[in-house]
Structure 1
């Protein structure tokens, strides 16, 4: 079965389940006198099922949304997630929704919630609209759509937080899996990722506490990293390497003393690494990637 067929099966199966269980009744809290969306109605690529309130709460909590964030909800539906991000967490939020009637409803819902000054609803296509300025991305899309978006998401600023309802990102393992305390339609499980910096390659490190000729060789698959460090003519594997957004950390053994050293570095907007060895190191270092 190819991916498109699998997606159609998921869509039809979900719709059939909703038909049988709730008879496609309108969601009273989502609609108004101008438009009443029906749970399970077909959209551009998915059927519409609103995320349940408890999972919305958990998604925003896990993503640690604050007033300083700009959240984009891809496939915003009735605007629930964007509105909650603004109303409860004080964030600015943008919802992108393809269905013009649903987008108009989401705008009215934002006005009724008193957050129209912080919530923008765009009637558009998530594959065409620019959401690269987001600090948080939320989604309730099918696996095939997540995979189509994945290359774009991975190019976003390191540290951008992604949170999804029900579906994963293929072989990009989530940083956290969580669930809502209340089950039911609209999802009960969620997944969270932090966009990793692209650090794979060879780096020359200058100023590492007086050590000369330090080379760092990093391998990477999404947020999982490994590699070696070479100090002078001695090479050793990195110990416990970790990458979270733009923050890289690893340990190594000092060749002269055998003492365990902790390295913390940040990937900068200029494409360099800046960090230090140890918590109380007086001299920081800078790393530059060796061109391929």
Structure 2
């Protein structure tokens, strides 16, 4: 019986070794329609890839041990002839605070960083605005400003969206484009052009709590004239297109989703 039991055990062990192990479920798997459980950046941190990028293993140099003490001969009959002395003296003064060293911050500040732009955002591309007071409107991209923001216009005459700055993250680039041709923009229209003037409020006096009201934004005459010039050039470029009627209607209508319409399945 003992021999039979041993044979049975060896048989079971051989059967287990023959069985093919099923692969486990990966951490990041497809949820459907090409959408994964974790994003690229999440997996970048989960796998700790940042620890291995650009890492060069240099050969270790042998450390040379420096002697802390050395024998020093001393003259005199009663001094013993020699003395053990430290090779490097200990510091006599320790500062309570570390020194603040001046750093050259030129080129390191965020405002000086290079702004990358996705390939779909080209001048003349019609964009769908996703946030802000003009969300849902279709606008024409004019150019990218130094800060990385996009300069867009409705035009104002078609859908009421004036020249303004938009963040690239809050727009959808469509495949429809307007050939702007020889479109020229004034050099003064930059990031400084769109900064609002912050006026200091006067000190409140007795009885002025409810009298003063917050003044709303009003565009200047310069901005109005610049808007007319830009709108005229964009509208003239649209008129040259073969499907001009369709483009005018496309820019005038608002974007919206109906039931069973999903933006990640749509082609713009």
Structure number with bigger Rg: 2
Aligning the two structures, in what range does the TM-score lie when normalised by the shorter sequence? under 0.3
Give the helix-richer structure, 1 or 2: 2
Q: TM-score by structure 1 length? A: 0.22
Give the strand-richer structure, 1 or 2: 1
Q: TM-score by structure 2 length? A: 0.23
